[in-house]
Amino acid sequence: MKREIKFCGLGDSGLSKDKWVFGHYYQDAHGKILLHIIKDSLGQIHSINPNTLSQYTGICDKDGLEIYENHIVKDEFGRMLKVGYWNYRLCWIALTETNFNHADLFEWVDRDTNGNLTNKARVKHMGNVF
């Protein structure tokens, strides 16, 4: 599975204020102020709140929506999970009562007929922690 590197963040000014923007992230040292910027697919530049910066996992939910860090999903058993880090590994973290507190991110990812991982997980995107 080839992973696309991209990010999302909540815009903090202009037309993108309080809206999610998606694209490539970079920092710009403008004088003594560090700007956190996402450049979208149209080449538009958006200043974002760095506390909301989240990286794409390379996985989509069962409806094809991209899943980023800090997203909340519901699995096939109705359990709410957050995409986050546990011991420096990206994983699902249980938010509701269950028999585990974290699990490998790829345990909910479908496989093709050859047994290779796809980019589609057996979860439904429900929102994010922000």
> In CATH, what number is assigned to the domain containing residue 113?
2.30.30.290
Which of 54, 80, 81 is closest to 68 using CA atoms?
Answer: 54
8 Å CB contact between 7 and 38: yes
- Total-model pTM: 0.86
Same domain, 45 and 62: no
Task: Give the angle subtended at the CA of 108 by the CAs of 72 and 88, to the nearest 5°.
Answer: 65
Give the CA count within 13 Å in the CB-facing half-sphere of 75: 20
The boundaries of the domain holding residue 121 are 57-130
Q: Give the model's confidence band at 97: pLDDT under 50 very low, under 70 low, under 90 confident, else very high.
A: confident
Which of 78, 72, 128, 82 is closest to 103 using CA atoms?
Answer: 82
Residue 123 CB: number of other CB atoms within 10 A? 26
pLDDT in tens, 15-71: 899 999 999 998 777 666 678 999 999 999 999 999 999 999 999 999 999 999 999
Same domain, 44 and 103: no
First to last CA, the chain: 29
User: Which residue has tokens 């909301």?
Assistant: 52
Same domain, 105 and 122: yes
Burial class (CB in 10 A: 0-12, 13-18, 19+), 53: middle
CA-derived radius of gyration, the chain: 16
Say yes or no to pLDDT of 79 above 60.
Answer: yes
Domain count, the chain: 2
